[in-house]
Amino acid sequence: MSGQNERWNVALPRSNTIDADRWSEYEWVVWQIEVDDPERRISEPYHSAGVPFLLAKDSREVMVDFAERLGCIYEGCRDDGVCGSDDDPCYTWWFRVPQALHVQRNPRRWPLAMEECQLHLNRLFADHYHWEVFVDARRTKALKEGNPLPPLP
């Protein structure tokens, strides 16, 4: 009997997975990473160099391989969006995350793979900016239903 009690007193390792969420039945979950740039510090080096703003093209070259190494799929980047009442520039990236990685979360409840992508983007383009990371429900549902993916907003 004492052997059983000792067994139950052993501390189990903590898991970084979460309980099932509304996306738990989806094979792939599309996550969006968005950063705002009110001071236009991301686009300024392009303008200063006299070249067109190519954040989507430049980040694609880096993030396709980075996402693949994490087990995710890079879907794209939008570099012509605006946010807020001042129409500040904002940039958005989309990634497909398999369910096995979707459930592995950081304290902010982002998948660890999306945290890694955000940190990598932060190092490349947008150090110390305000980041938003969330599920793109439209694209995630379209994947599950086998419908054509909606265009990147």
3 by Cβ neighbours in 10 Å (0-12 / 13-18 / 19+) ranks as exposed
Find the mean pLDDT for residues 3-30: 58
**pTM, to two decimals:** 0.80
Nearest to 130 by CA among 77, 91, 103: 91
What are the b/e assignments for 80-116, b being 16+ CB within 10 Å?
ebebeeeeebbbbbbbbbbeebbbbbeeeebbbbbbb
Q: What is the pLDDT of residue 88?
A: 80
Dig out the tokens for 34 from the structure: 């968005």
**Cβ partners under 8 Å of residue 116, min gap 6:** 70
pLDDT digits (tens, 9 = 90+) for 55-98: 888 888 889 999 999 999 999 999 887 776 677 888 899 999 99
pLDDT digits (tens, 9 = 90+) for 136-148: 999 999 999 999 9
**DSSP annotation of 125:** T
Q: What angle do CA 96, 84, 89 make, to 5 degrees?
A: 65
Is the CB of residue 131 less than 8 Å from the CB of residue 29?
A: no
pLDDT digits (tens, 9 = 90+) for 37-59: 888 778 777 778 887 777 888 88
Dig out the tokens for 4 from the structure: 């059983």
